[in-house]
Structure 1
Amino acid sequence: MSGVNFYVYIITNKNHTVLYTGFTSDLERRMFEHKTGVYKEFSFKYNCNELLYYEEFIDKEEALHRERQLKKYKREWKENLICGFNPSWRDLYDDFLLD
């Protein structure tokens, strides 16, 4: 992933009832934090720790703009986005680590 510095991502819980959209400069570290419950915030409260979708950016402002966009979208639109990227809705965390 050379040249990529920022990520916008969507995670969910085991039953896919909650979608959480986030931004980070280190997706591997941030997903580890979600999976281990380091921060007791929204994603911890709703057990969101499965990586369903991510986009890579070089420009921080572009990534933050995209995160704000995604947060405004209704769930149905986010589901369609996820289905185009990850049709089986499987946790992509291990795949991301292998890249």
Structure 2
Amino acid sequence: MKRSIEPYVYLLASRRNGTLYLGVTSNLMQLVAQHRTETFGGFTAEHGVKLLVWFEQHATMEHAILREKQIKKWRRAWKLDLIEQANPDWQDLAVSLGFAPLD
């Protein structure tokens, strides 16, 4: 059985206006779970980057990767604007996907 790929570009944050992490994934739910449990270690674990504050689904992985590369070139202020346009209160969007709220 072929696994369905659901390409997403996402932004995680440590807190409002905190450390940001931009990435791309084919499985948003699994990715969020891994970041919340610090399975990856590294940058996101060191900086407490666990809040899903923005995400965008794409039709293909190629489109998602292009969008991620585009946003990576942006100034920080533009990324903050992107988040605040869709999520002005910096809510943890993972909760709306069924995850328990973080402490």
Structure with a larger share of its residues in helix: 1
Partner of 1:58: 59
Give the TM-score taking structure 1 as reference length: 0.89
The total of aligned residue pairs comes to: 96
Partner of 2:13: 12
The Cα shift of 1:34 comes to: 0.4
For residues 46-90 of structure 1, give each alpha carbon's deviation from its aligned partner in whole angstroms, at most 9, with x where no partner exists: 110000000001211000000111111111000111111101011
Which stretches in structure 1 are left out of the alignment for 5+ residues?
A: none
User: What secondary structure is seen at the aligned counterpart in 2 of 1:80?
Assistant: helix
For residues 7-61 of structure 1, give each alpha carbon's deviation from its aligned partner in whole angstroms, at most 9, with x where no partner exists: 0000000354211001100101000000000011211111100000000012110
CA radius of gyration, larger in: 2
RMSD of aligned C-alpha atoms?
Answer: 1.7
Which stretches in structure 2 are left out of the alignment for 5+ residues?
A: none
Identity, in percent, stands at 32
Within 5 A, what are the aligned runs for 1:86-97?
Answer: 86-97=87-98
